Structure 1
Amino acid sequence: MAPGLPTAMDRPHFIGIGGAGMSGIAKILAQRGAKVAGSDAKDSATADALRALGATVHIGHAAEHLADDATCVVVSSAIRKDNPELARAAELDIPVVHRSDALARLMDGLHPIAVAGTHGKTTTTSMLAVSLTELGLKPSYAIGGDLDAPGSNALHGDGEIFVAEADESDRSFHKYAPEVAIVLNVELDHHANYASMEEIYDSFQTFADRIVPGGTLVISADHEGARELTRRVSDSVKTVTYGEAEDADVRILSVVAQGLKSEVTVVLGGEELTFTVSVPGRHYASNAVAALAAGAALGIPAAELAPALAAYTGVKRRLQLKGEAAGVQVIDSYAHHPTEMTADLEAMRAAASTSRLLVVFQPHLFSRTQELGKEMGQSLALADASLVLDIYPAREDPIPGVTSDLIIEAARAAGADVTPVHDKADVPEAVAGMAKPGDLVLTMGAGDVTDLGPRILDRLAK
């Protein structure tokens, strides 16, 4: 049986409870019987889901939202120090717990699998959660996105396994002590927190060194950053590599596109296995093989886990089909880093080789655009035509001279057909003027570009 509530977390208050990572922890605590409360900047479906579990969710941030009997206040790195609820916690001498520490406590007494990497964490964590559930193992999980099935970003299960997405952006994944750790890839990102690749390597090495004695690091053999990390990790850490590289311990022999699915053949433990992945592209096939290798490291028979992986049908915002109107399919992608953008665009090309691919791209963060705007523009050259929105700032303040023009100029230099759009409200009409029956429209980015899918479909239907 899974453990109960961690000490002093029976009446937690979450500042920013609607966030992907925060809401997952809050849901699990509520499912374990905690009296959960919290606040968020705006109401949402996530807030409603928390209320359905018995949580109290306040809209807006105010000192009076924090109850005097709260046993701890949970925060993420995005919470500013001048938050009124945080100030109130100091007045009441209520302990402040970082999100990562809270998640680490939830894993105590279980067999944790922590999934890390610059790209693909949410997908791989989700694949594990769904396939382990399909096998009746009743895992607990905390994911940075909502599954298509069973439809949540977190669940308290009665089994012995806890699957968690491990976020490197603020080094919070250093708090975990997994039995199995997955590293999908290692690239420079989160430029506000990491100044160089050397800092990235040091951070991932710290994460790998946190694996419990006797545990396993499952790591890509195909990505140079991951291979470099493999060379750096301690010899005491058992390492299993996977990928298409000839020296991979779990080797991918082939990935065959079958519409919006892929058939994958691997060799694991000397045995050849063929299974289906219900999302397109080599990138997602590789994620499935990482999940397969991690399950095998925990002792789950690969011959059972491989077919169970086919039960994974996707995560919201990860090449999620939003609908079809006037013969045009609209698909949503969370991709915001050039590597992710390229992988999703190539997957869409392979899935629908005879269709035109139209992209609505919204850059995410000024710092990322400043460092990687050129590469983002080059990725857009894979589309037949693109609309590029203004930068979604999220938690950042503007940087002088950093605009979407950096991406547009690079895209045009790479031969791409790119049009700037400064007002999101203009996008549905613009897409309607471009799209023809048979085309695919991809809304892409980590910001609120996802809201445009239904609006585009409504306009196309007229």
Structure 2
Amino acid sequence: MNLETIDNVYFIGIGGIGMSALARYFHANKKQVSGYDKTKSDITDSLIGLGMSVHFEDAVNNIESTFLDPSKTLVVYTPAIPKNHAELAYFNENGFKVMKRAAVLGLITENTQCLAVAGTHGKTTTTSILGHLLNACDVPVTAFLGGISENYQSNLIINGTEVTVVEADEFDRSFLTLSPDFACITSMDADHLDIYGDAEELQKSFKEFANKIKQNGKLFVKSGLPINGITYGIEDDSDYSIVNLKIENGVYVFDVKTPKTTLEKFKFNLPGRHNLSNALIALAMAAEFGCPHQQLAKALASYKGVKRRFSYHIKNDDVVYIDDYAHHPEEINAVHQAVREMYPTKKVLAVFQPHLYSRTRDFVEEFAESLSKFDEVILLDIYPARELPIPGVTSQWLLDKIKNSNKQLVKKANLISKIKESTANVVLTIGAGDIGDEVKHIKQALLHAS
């Protein structure tokens, strides 16, 4: 399909983080863009502010007449949309070109130099660091991000179209629509078992993705993963390794050993070894791409992070409030490591909203172990997203397994009062559901209390 012949792009699920980045891209490329989403949000508000029309009721008569010509309109949808969606059914039944988001991303990137970031954790942060590095080195890049960059206040970086940076998402095997020139794999922990069935099938899919890299392309893999490629790691014998690591005033300071030399004096502001690992692979890919050392060092020091990725909302002597998207046990472990490294003597309260019944069921023991490491735990009810309840799979079931005497299950309506009762100095909110909507209210309450 030739995207040049398309005048209009209609999105079903336009408010999703990946979908909205595509909507911004097509809007920037002078296409007419419109769409539907189930709920109003900051993202839909920002799209409307750019001039796109968005509605929130699934009804064919809400679709503007401009978008009803099958020869001029591309319809993009997300796998989270239910099969019985009226608008999606209409487009499917009336001769429109209807494509999943991942397939459209594959089309956009196929005639570019594509750098893809894969892995069960770390994709969004790594992609945003890599996009920022290339942009700062004046590469003509478009980067599609799975989160809102604090540097650009957007999930799209656009500085040209010759090079693309994308998240290669393993959910629904979406990343198999890509054929990148450079790719990295940050992690292959079991996840999305509702799609894959078991960890072995997930690993097979990553190996299939590795085989999609173009001839003479480069694959980077975190040290220890069962796939061959250029390796990277922290203070080890990988091809790219962080050496001489120090923390100065809450900032990581380090050098990078490459296969040919050592690049000196990098600074990175995000806490946590997981973020340091993400920075390393972004640096490795940018260096192999040809970006000069001095520009890379300056760019990395100016990187501010991604919203809901260890995002500070309060940072004073009385209280620290951090919000993070972590929704897998390994991600919670990474957040715990980061917060203990930065605040070794402080009492930490973790407020967690489990995401998906299936993920809670598949990793209940691991979630319990991860959450038990915090001083206090507040659990919210499971956020269902695209799923129906599974009998017996509840937040109470998870709570009962947490080995921590200071734990409670709380309804969202009572959350702020329960947080204010806590004696913790550090408050964390974690999860991938709508817990992010509570952040501004929690921030106000904590500021008022302190």
State the TM-score, normalizing by the size of structure 1.
0.91
Matched, 1:54 2:44: no
Asked if the contact 1:128–1:309 (Cα under 8 Å) also holds between the matched residues in 2, the reply is: no
1:440 matched residue in structure 2 = 426
Choose which of 108, 111, 125 in structure 2 pairs with 1:109.
Answer: 111
**1:130-279 residue pairs with structure 2 within 5 A?**
130-158=132-160, 160-221=162-223, 224=224, 227-230=225-228, 239-244=229-234, 246-268=236-258, 269-279=260-270
Asked if the contact 1:113–1:162 (Cα under 8 Å) also holds between the matched residues in 2, the reply is: yes
Separation in structure 1 between the aligned mates of residue 119 and residue 189 of structure 2, nearest angstrom: 8
Asked if the contact 1:16–1:41 (Cα under 8 Å) also holds between the matched residues in 2, the reply is: yes
Separation in structure 1 between the aligned mates of residue 248 and residue 281 of structure 2, nearest angstrom: 21
2:127 matched residue in structure 1 = 125
Compared CA separation, residues 285 and 210, structure 1 to 2 (3 A): same
* CA shift for structure 1 position 245: 6.5
Greater mean alpha carbon deviation, residues 10-19 or residues 269-278: 269-278
Question: 1:85 corresponds to which letter in structure 2?
Answer: E
1:236 matched residue in structure 2 = none
Q: Deviations over 1:70-106 (max 9, x none)?
A: 5221011111221111111133211111101111222
Separation in structure 2 between the aligned mates of residue 409 and residue 307 of structure 1, nearest angstrom: 48
Separation in structure 1 between the aligned mates of residue 169 and residue 6 of structure 2, nearest angstrom: 22
1:405 matched residue in structure 2 = 396
**1:281-296 residue pairs with structure 2 within 5 A?**
281-296=272-287
Separation in structure 1 between the aligned mates of residue 397 and residue 235 of structure 2, nearest angstrom: 35
Q: Deviations over 1:418-447 (max 9, x none)?
A: 2221x11211111111135xx110001111
Instruction: Give 3-state SS (helix, strand or coil) of 2:344's partner.
Output: coil
Separation in structure 2 between the aligned mates of residue 366 and residue 140 of structure 1, nearest angstrom: 35
Asked if the contact 2:135–2:159 (Cα under 8 Å) also holds between the matched residues in 1, the reply is: no
* CA shift for structure 1 position 369: 0.6
Compared CA separation, residues 9 and 204, structure 1 to 2 (3 A): farther
Q: Deviations over 1:342-389 (max 9, x none)?
A: 001110111112221111111111111101111111111221111111
* CA shift for structure 1 position 325: 7.8
Instruction: Give 3-state SS (helix, strand or coil) of 2:96's partner.
Output: coil
Q: Deviations over 1:29-51 (max 9, x none)?
A: 11011111111112222122222
Asked if the contact 1:10–1:34 (Cα under 8 Å) also holds between the matched residues in 2, the reply is: yes
* CA shift for structure 1 position 257: 3.1
1:417 matched residue in structure 2 = 406
Asked if the contact 1:73–1:95 (Cα under 8 Å) also holds between the matched residues in 2, the reply is: yes
Compared CA separation, residues 16 and 440, structure 1 to 2 (3 A): same
Matched, 1:449 2:435: yes
Question: 2:301 corresponds to which letter in structure 1?
Answer: A
* CA shift for structure 1 position 260: 4.1
1:426 matched residue in structure 2 = 414
Instruction: Give 3-state SS (helix, strand or coil) of 1:131's partner.
Output: helix
1:383 matched residue in structure 2 = 374
Asked if the contact 1:432–1:456 (Cα under 8 Å) also holds between the matched residues in 2, the reply is: no
Q: Deviations over 1:224-243 (max 9, x none)?
A: 4xx2133xxxxxxxx21100
Separation in structure 2 between the aligned mates of residue 72 and residue 193 of structure 1, nearest angstrom: 27
Separation in structure 1 between the aligned mates of residue 402 and residue 60 of structure 2, nearest angstrom: 47
Question: 1:229 corresponds to which letter in structure 2?
Answer: I
Separation in structure 1 between the aligned mates of residue 141 and residue 18 of structure 2, nearest angstrom: 17
Separation in structure 1 between the aligned mates of residue 52 and residue 413 of structure 2, nearest angstrom: 35
Separation in structure 2 between the aligned mates of residue 247 and residue 331 of structure 1, nearest angstrom: 33
Question: 1:299 corresponds to which letter in structure 2?
Answer: G
1:235 matched residue in structure 2 = none
**1:22-37 residue pairs with structure 2 within 5 A?**
22-37=19-34
* CA shift for structure 1 position 277: 1.2
* CA shift for structure 1 position 272: 4.1
Instruction: Give 3-state SS (helix, strand or coil) of 1:80's partner.
Output: coil
Instruction: Give 3-state SS (helix, strand or coil) of 2:310's partner.
Output: strand
Percent identity, aligned pairs only? 38
Separation in structure 1 between the aligned mates of residue 120 and residue 92 of structure 2, nearest angstrom: 35
* CA shift for structure 1 position 197: 1.8
Asked if the contact 1:114–1:165 (Cα under 8 Å) also holds between the matched residues in 2, the reply is: yes
Q: What is the alpha-carbon root mean square deviation over aligned residues?
A: 1.8
Greater mean alpha carbon deviation, residues 275-284 or residues 39-48: 39-48
Choose which of 312, 316, 338 in structure 2 pairs with 1:321.
Answer: 312
Asked if the contact 1:113–1:180 (Cα under 8 Å) also holds between the matched residues in 2, the reply is: yes
Question: 1:132 corresponds to which letter in structure 2?
Answer: L
Greater mean alpha carbon deviation, residues 124-133 or residues 240-249: 240-249
Compared CA separation, residues 326 and 302, structure 1 to 2 (3 A): closer
Structure 1 residue runs without a partner (length 5+):
231-238
2:68 matched residue in structure 1 = 68
Asked if the contact 1:38–1:57 (Cα under 8 Å) also holds between the matched residues in 2, the reply is: yes
Structure 2 residue runs without a partner (length 5+):
none
Compared CA separation, residues 65 and 157, structure 1 to 2 (3 A): farther
* CA shift for structure 1 position 58: 1.6
Question: 1:420 corresponds to which letter in structure 2?
Answer: L
Compared CA separation, residues 49 and 78, structure 1 to 2 (3 A): same
